[in-house]
Structure 1
């Protein structure tokens, strides 16, 4: 490990530590490596541009962002939310269940945890606190926890990024996320029910069941989006990137022609906001591409794989160790950085140990999503504080039980790989 590489890591840590966004910190650190090692600094620009423009798969990211923003802008979210209320709102802890079910449904549309939390999440928090049965902190905590499901059930922007660095099939990754996402939802609903019983939360005045067919009919066009996406990919009609374009176009058709809830001015704001979000993701990806070159130049992945092989680590112990490390890193780093910079370091070792890359990818992405609600750097906690005004300490006070429930779900996925792999294998994945 050279002095230039140690300098690179040191610069990244120092620059990020003083509050500079992680993408800029990684770029500055990587440039310091190129400068000290005597390589052309212009190489950084070439690596970034080649990586961004040479990967067709990355087009899926802005398209999924546009689809999510269109879904959140019109009355689509309101119709889906009313459907959830009629479905599960009558049970003990009903609005908490509505919160989780809404996240499960929206996870099949947005592919983004932040989009779920800032969009439908804000609406549900207001509804939960209005009933008087839930504290502000509890409403925000279960919203943050359920929003982590967003990138697990397809479509999923983090899975697109993982496919980019691992050369794994996006289609099988998407399939691998369906059962884990539903499992996470079930675990969160069970925890919500236990807390509701213990704290004696009041029952909601849910609409009668006879309204379920009408609400289902109103929400049905929106509920079709995940099915259209999955059929397009697994039916051989579209590539995952083309499926993202179909999702964005379908969301636009729903908002304009079916629900008639999207004005031109709002649509322009959606495009501008989506462009900003896409640019932010692109900057992080570009910085990661440069750092990945630095890591490859230092032969770090192969050295790490060789070290682990010499330790004679079993695949299970390796998975447990890596996931513990990722949980700790999730307290400090954002999910995109972990997926693009940290996870590629372990891929050669996974191949050497015979660990399935679809299983590893889904588990690692679940882990990074848990990191979004892990103090002190829980991005979803900050997002909800910003959009609702609820103090951060109130949310953190209530998040721990949901955090524990999700870690238990993660452990189950590690110990029982078929939770992830059963559906991909059913559709022909050879492993």
Structure 2
């Protein structure tokens, strides 16, 4: 491979266009077309790969539907009621509001499937609640919100796992189940950091909610709490596919917000649909660009070449997984998560399969790595979101997030070393991997 090689030129083109500010999806499409021209291949191949990939993947419809569900929950009062429910149960402990932040992220994870939706929805409310009256330093509140939002795509439903299922042919149902225990483990790790920080920094305790009010608070939040039950019950009860369940989730969020809570109007519903369309278009362009570029990678036989190169190191399955962790953590500092899922992961899958690594466990390890990239500088998209929401500097937030990042890295190591953490629940439901 030389500097004048078509593939090398296409890689350089992607990097240069990205640095100049062109969205990465557009950069991949343009660079793939450049490769086809230089390699003398049929230009219609790009369109063919894009159309075949987009229209033959029914599972991809779940992505915009989960985005719509999350937007409708944020527009209505579902998030507020969930926060009140969490506060009633854990707000009375040291660092109570910080623990509420962790618990609400675990609950919200069972509804949105998106870390960004979690941070932009419940995260805004938590930032305001935690900083009112100087209860918590703004940077600590922002760092905790970014760290807890990472749980969103691990506990089902999960948009990144939908995309991983697209590139790996793994069962989306079993992938969803595999994320439950790792997600709870990550939440527990963050709660422990909160408890230690609360005692050391003397964070305030919230006034306890009287026991007589608990049934009312629970009943008020009950319709929102039922959303994960409706969503996952349909999938694992065999009544719906994941895509159909995503559609039901979006309709359920609209129904509860509009008819039961009466907290959403036509204008706010329209704004939610418009925001969902923008997010979907952004994700769609990434997927389209990746599908075309994956054809280029296949033509160049990159997966086979990489597999042959890695086999020279005589890696064990565990050694390979540890190497993948290192590579993905570094890439997560620089690249957007969907790009990694669509471009890098397909290249690693053949080697993982050859080593006998379970594709469901591998998917969980990959998705956790990619989510950690959202809170790892210098790229760290969630860090930038919380910088905008909180008004704190990036340096302040990074300093506060380091203990949470360390706890999450320990969780990742346990998930990697102990496949049973991911596979116990799927096997309980009949998975044979």
Q: Which residue of 1 aligns with 2:123?
A: 121
What is the 5 A alignment of 1:269-284?
A: 269-284=271-286
In the alignment, the residues of structure 2 paired with residue 61 and residue 316 of structure 1 have an alpha-carbon distance, to the nearest angstrom, of 32
In the alignment, the residues of structure 2 paired with residue 418 and residue 236 of structure 1 have an alpha-carbon distance, to the nearest angstrom, of 24
Q: Which residue of 1 aligns with 2:400?
A: 398
The size of the alignment, in residue pairs, is 431
Where 2:41 maps in the other structure, the secondary structure is coil
Q: Does 1:332 align with 2:355?
A: no
In the alignment, the residues of structure 2 paired with residue 104 and residue 271 of structure 1 have an alpha-carbon distance, to the nearest angstrom, of 25
In the alignment, the residues of structure 2 paired with residue 70 and residue 388 of structure 1 have an alpha-carbon distance, to the nearest angstrom, of 23
Q: Which residue of 2 aligns with 1:23?
A: 25
Check the 8 A contact 2:139/2:390 in 1, yes or no. Answer: no
Per-residue deviation at 1:371? 0.3
Deviations 1:210-264 (A, max 9, x none): 3222111111111111111111111110011111011111111111111111101
Q: Which residue of 2 aligns with 1:184?
A: 186
In the alignment, the residues of structure 2 paired with residue 183 and residue 131 of structure 1 have an alpha-carbon distance, to the nearest angstrom, of 32
Alignment partner of 1:174 out of 170, 173, 176: 176
Where 1:180 maps in the other structure, the secondary structure is helix
Check the 8 A contact 2:91/2:99 in 1, yes or no. Answer: yes
Per-residue deviation at 1:385? 2.0
In the alignment, the residues of structure 2 paired with residue 209 and residue 92 of structure 1 have an alpha-carbon distance, to the nearest angstrom, of 18
Q: Which residue of 1 aligns with 2:362?
A: 360
Farther off after superposition, 264-273 or 2-11: 2-11
In the alignment, the residues of structure 1 paired with residue 226 and residue 204 of structure 2 have an alpha-carbon distance, to the nearest angstrom, of 33
Per-residue deviation at 1:70? 0.5
Farther off after superposition, 415-424 or 209-218: 209-218
Per-residue deviation at 1:312? 1.4
Q: Which residue of 2 aligns with 1:379?
A: 381
In the alignment, the residues of structure 1 paired with residue 289 and residue 208 of structure 2 have an alpha-carbon distance, to the nearest angstrom, of 49
Q: Point out where structure 2 has 5 or more consecutive residues left out of the alignment.
A: none
**What is the aligned-residue RMSD (CA, Å)?**
1.2
Per-residue deviation at 1:169? 0.3
Where 2:315 maps in the other structure, the secondary structure is coil
Check the 8 A contact 2:138/2:390 in 1, yes or no. Answer: no
Q: Which residue of 1 aligns with 2:299?
A: 297
In the alignment, the residues of structure 2 paired with residue 74 and residue 336 of structure 1 have an alpha-carbon distance, to the nearest angstrom, of 28
In the alignment, the residues of structure 2 paired with residue 192 and residue 210 of structure 1 have an alpha-carbon distance, to the nearest angstrom, of 28
Q: Which residue of 2 aligns with 1:411?
A: 413
Where 1:109 maps in the other structure, the secondary structure is helix
Check the 8 A contact 2:110/2:157 in 1, yes or no. Answer: yes
Q: Which residue of 1 aligns with 2:263?
A: 261
Q: Which residue of 1 aligns with 2:224?
A: 222
Check the 8 A contact 1:64/1:110 in 2, yes or no. Answer: yes
Per-residue deviation at 1:60? 0.4
Check the 8 A contact 1:136/1:394 in 2, yes or no. Answer: no
Farther off after superposition, 209-218 or 408-417: 209-218
What is the 5 A alignment of 1:8-407?
A: 8-407=10-409
In the alignment, the residues of structure 2 paired with residue 163 and residue 147 of structure 1 have an alpha-carbon distance, to the nearest angstrom, of 22
Deviations 1:341-368 (A, max 9, x none): 1111110001100000000001110110
In the alignment, the residues of structure 2 paired with residue 204 and residue 229 of structure 1 have an alpha-carbon distance, to the nearest angstrom, of 33
TM-score (structure 2 length as normaliser): 0.97
In the alignment, the residues of structure 1 paired with residue 78 and residue 230 of structure 2 have an alpha-carbon distance, to the nearest angstrom, of 17
Where 1:108 maps in the other structure, the secondary structure is helix
In the alignment, the residues of structure 2 paired with residue 12 and residue 250 of structure 1 have an alpha-carbon distance, to the nearest angstrom, of 41
Deviations 1:160-213 (A, max 9, x none): 000000000000000000111111100000011111111121222242233222
Per-residue deviation at 1:384? 1.7
Q: Point out where structure 1 has 5 or more consecutive residues left out of the alignment.
A: none
Farther off after superposition, 381-390 or 359-368: 381-390
In the alignment, the residues of structure 1 paired with residue 310 and residue 394 of structure 2 have an alpha-carbon distance, to the nearest angstrom, of 40
In the alignment, the residues of structure 1 paired with residue 388 and residue 51 of structure 2 have an alpha-carbon distance, to the nearest angstrom, of 33
In the alignment, the residues of structure 2 paired with residue 237 and residue 387 of structure 1 have an alpha-carbon distance, to the nearest angstrom, of 40
TM-score (structure 1 length as normaliser): 0.98
In the alignment, the residues of structure 1 paired with residue 392 and residue 65 of structure 2 have an alpha-carbon distance, to the nearest angstrom, of 31
Check the 8 A contact 1:4/1:36 in 2, yes or no. Answer: yes
Per-residue deviation at 1:131? 4.0
Farther off after superposition, 182-191 or 386-395: 386-395
